Structure 1
Amino acid sequence: MFKKVIFSFQANFLVAILSLITTLITAKFLGSYGKGYLSIITIYISVVQLINEIFGVGTVLFLLKKYQMKEIFLISYFWFLMVSIVSTLVISFFNLIEKDLQVVFFFNTIFISVFMLNLRVVLNKMNIKWYNFLIILQPLILLLFLIQKGLTFFTVKDFLLFQLFSYSIISVVALIVLRKELKKDKLRYDNIKPLFVDSISLGIVNQTANFSQIINYRVSYFFIEKFVGLKAVGVFSIVLSFANVIWLFATSTGTLLGNEISKTDKLKKSSVAQFFKYMKISVFFTLLTLIIVYIIPSHVYVKLLNKDFSSVKPLLLMMAPAILMFTLAKILGYFFSSLGKMKINLYSSLAGLIPSVLLGYILVKEFKIFGAVMSCSISFIISSIVLLYFFLKEKYKFREII
């Protein structure tokens, strides 16, 4: 398993580097205002994606124990289409984004969900090498499109269009990879109704948890936009982008371990012990990365981005304790999802939601972007403590010594 984790980490590390380069490019050439506007659009896409994933990634690993891949794809793709149509109409009605972005917004919401579903099934059904290859290819294609366009001359619309191309291309490639598995499956129409019921019951709980987590992450964007402006939103989005890179090892580990647990019918003592072992390793990797963030001089961040982002390093260091703590949540979320215990993830997200919303408004109004960092940090820490509590209860069932 350690070889798999390291192999997956290497792939995800390359993905993170490519994504970070893309983030730096968008920040440098769109500026803090353009990056802020792109971040707001990304939040809207994320919210639609959350609704899509009631029949998507959040439940697919658990559902693959009971249903055929072809059955899951059929109902999921139809759901993605319907939700994306309705969501785009709502976005259009309230004029939340510019009119010339609405079509590309619509297709992004569909293909990001299709991409994530297809890739998760590839991980479950096929060799991990294919999964790693495809997750690397997506940001690489996006970056190549940006380079081809000419780095200093792209717009927010160009970025969304190139992102759409990258997700749609990889989604099709993933289906080609899965073609033999799909041919094996026989579509059982009598399973559609129970699949729908199971997806709804699991998906709503899981996506309510994810929706709460998105609010924990992103509600500060809107508070910052209200009290400070879009430029500050751009800066804060870069801070969270760096945080996601720092959580890379934890995300890779949680994905693989969760996938392994999802293939078994009963939780084993060894599985719990393995999760605890890799949780400690992930915390170490996160701490090591935070030390590197501290060592890098501030002027390097300004040079990589531009002068608008001079506060990125102090903001990251201010959030460092919460980033370290939230490493636990990054892994344990996969643990409970793979067991079908989505309610525990919901409890964790709701616990973190209260400080995000209540404190967020007050702190951002009073301390600007630093207030956003404070409210997010408190939310991350509370969410992590709740997940750790339930995980230790699982360990206690097996009478293991921590």
Structure 2
Amino acid sequence: MKETILKTFVSRFLILILNFGLVIYSTNMWGSSGKGLISIIIADLTIISFFANIFVGSSMSYFARKFRTEEILPFAYLWAVITGILIPVLFSSGHAAEYSGYLIGLSVMSSLLTANVNLFVGQQNIKMFNLYTVLQQLVHIIFIIIIVYCIKITSVNAYFIAQISCFTLLFFITAFQLIKKADFKKILISKDIGFQLFNYGWKIQLSTFLQFLNNRLSFYFLEYFRGIISVGVFSVGIAFSEAVWTVSRSLSVVLYADVVNDTDFNSAIEKTKVSLRISFLITLLFISIMLMIPAHWYAMIFGKDFGETKEIVLLLSPGILAIAVSNIIGHYFAGINKLRILNVKSLAGLIFTIISSFFIIPKWGIKAACIINSASYCLSSGILFWRFYQITEFHIRDFILSKKEIHLLIKKIVKTH
């Protein structure tokens, strides 16, 4: 498991670098208003993905070893197309109606690709999961370069065209890999299988959707009370948060794949604790590095509109660390199909976010959004942390790597080079 974690960490570190490169490029190319628009469209896309992920998300991973590929993939593809078209149409009367065509393309293709990638996770093919997760960033950047500098589309539309092209290309490649191993002559649309996929999927997506609202509701409050430019400035701080979370999310995927396929309770707990301490320490390291960077460097890198970035990161940092821990524990509970606690912790955080945002954001803007997000993250993570340690013993060493683990990590790193 530790070797898989290391490889996953390396791939996520690559994603982190690519993601920062993309953020830097987009802020300098399209400014705070362009970055704000991208953030709102991607937030809309994420909302749509929660509905799509009922079938294309964790259900694909959870049932990959329980049913044949040809029994579950048709449900995922059909659902991806239906939700990818219908839900963006409902959004078309909103703040970005002129971008509804792009939103449909992004929704359909990202959901189709997500189904394939999550199937790799369920098959414990973490190598393919890591590869295509990195390629989603890399190929997106390559398409942006082609569209902006070769085709000469320099508006913010280039960002969305490039992302749709990226998702489409990777979907066809992954579909070919999966379908060639399946026997579609034996395809059978079973109501029972469809029900099981839906029943598991909606429960886990409810928790994920509530947590997303925790993460993104501030965007909509800021847009309403302070305008799109404030969203753009705030979104860079959030981009830092999510870049750091790629580590814990990667570890979570590896853990989830192991827990789903592991029948030993003690083994699953131990794997969770290993992932927990690696996630905690690496996240702490990244936060420390970000806070050591001088404030004026952020303005120099991202543009003059983004001088507040270091302060935003500082205010968000307690919540960033809290989520890094809860991501691991949350995937443990998902792997053993204990989903109620995930809904409870997300709902608690969401209620806090809604109530506090109405009163604080209109007065103090971006700083208030940071404090609210961080406090909400700590609250919801604390609930999950408390529940996990009700079923196991708490030890400080759960957050400290042993000498043996440090030596093993160093040995693996040397081998990879």
Instruction: Please state how far the C-alpha of 1:328 moved relative to its aligned partner.
Output: 1.1
The verdict on how the C-alpha distance between 1:19 and 1:227 changes in structure 2, with shifts beyond 3 A counting, is: same
Query: Which residue of 2 is the match for residue 135 of structure 1?
Result: 133
Task: Answer whether contact 2:147 2:162 (CA < 8 A) is retained.
Answer: no
User: Which shifted more, 117-126 or 180-189?
Assistant: 180-189
1:190-339 maps to which residues of 2 (within 5 A)? 192-264=190-262, 266-339=263-336
Query: Which residue of 2 is the match for residue 383 of structure 1?
Result: 380
Is structure 2 residue 363 aligned with structure 1 residue 366? yes
Task: Answer whether contact 1:122 1:174 (CA < 8 A) is retained.
Answer: no
Could you say which structure has the greater relative contact order, defined with CA pairs below 8 angstroms and 6 or more residues apart? Answer: 1
Runs of 4+ in 1 over 4 A off after TM superposition: none
Instruction: Please state how far the C-alpha of 1:95 moved relative to its aligned partner.
Output: 4.4
Provide the secondary structure at the position in 1 that maps to 2:186: coil
Is structure 2 residue 69 aligned with structure 1 residue 69? yes
* Aligned length in residues: 395
Task: Answer whether contact 1:250 1:330 (CA < 8 A) is retained.
Answer: yes
TM-score (norm 2): 0.90
Task: Answer whether contact 1:348 1:383 (CA < 8 A) is retained.
Answer: yes
Amino acid at match of 2:102: V
Is structure 2 residue 177 aligned with structure 1 residue 177? yes
Query: Which residue of 1 is the match for residue 32 of structure 2?
Result: 32
Supply the distance in 1 between the matched residues of 2:85 and 2:6 (Cα, whole angstroms).
Answer: 40
Unaligned runs of 5+ in 2: 399-417
Query: Which residue of 2 is the match for residue 7 of structure 1?
Result: 7
Supply the distance in 2 between the matched residues of 1:365 and 1:325 (Cα, whole angstroms).
Answer: 26
User: Which shifted more, 245-254 or 118-127?
Assistant: 118-127
TM-score (norm 1): 0.93
Query: Which residue of 2 is the match for residue 97 of structure 1?
Result: 96
Instruction: Please state how far the C-alpha of 1:219 moved relative to its aligned partner.
Output: 0.9
Task: Answer whether contact 1:225 1:232 (CA < 8 A) is retained.
Answer: yes
Deviation per residue, 1:34-81 (Å, 9 max, x gap): 111121111111111111111121322222243222221101111111
The verdict on how the C-alpha distance between 1:303 and 1:61 changes in structure 2, with shifts beyond 3 A counting, is: same
Instruction: Please state how far the C-alpha of 1:143 moved relative to its aligned partner.
Output: 0.6
Supply the distance in 2 between the matched residues of 1:269 and 1:185 (Cα, whole angstroms).
Answer: 41
Amino acid at match of 1:193: K
Amino acid at match of 2:324: T
% same residue: 25
Instruction: Please state how far the C-alpha of 1:184 moved relative to its aligned partner.
Output: 8.0
Deviation per residue, 1:238-284 (Å, 9 max, x gap): 111101111232111111011111123x3520210121122022111
Supply the distance in 2 between the matched residues of 1:81 and 1:382 (Cα, whole angstroms).
Answer: 36
Instruction: Please state how far the C-alpha of 1:200 moved relative to its aligned partner.
Output: 2.3
Supply the distance in 2 between the matched residues of 1:143 and 1:153 (Cα, whole angstroms).
Answer: 14
Amino acid at match of 1:204: W
Provide the secondary structure at the position in 2 that maps to 1:114: helix
Supply the distance in 2 between the matched residues of 1:156 and 1:198 (Cα, whole angstroms).
Answer: 41
Task: Answer whether contact 1:62 1:340 (CA < 8 A) is retained.
Answer: no
Instruction: Please state how far the C-alpha of 1:169 moved relative to its aligned partner.
Output: 0.9
Amino acid at match of 1:97: A
Amino acid at match of 2:259: I
Deviation per residue, 1:170-190 (Å, 9 max, x gap): 11111122234323883233x
Amino acid at match of 1:269: N
CA RMSD of aligned residues (A): 2.1
Supply the distance in 2 between the matched residues of 1:312 and 1:174 (Cα, whole angstroms).
Answer: 37
Task: Answer whether contact 1:68 1:185 (CA < 8 A) is retained.
Answer: no
Amino acid at match of 2:305: D
Deviation per residue, 1:281-310 (Å, 9 max, x gap): 211111111110111111221121101011
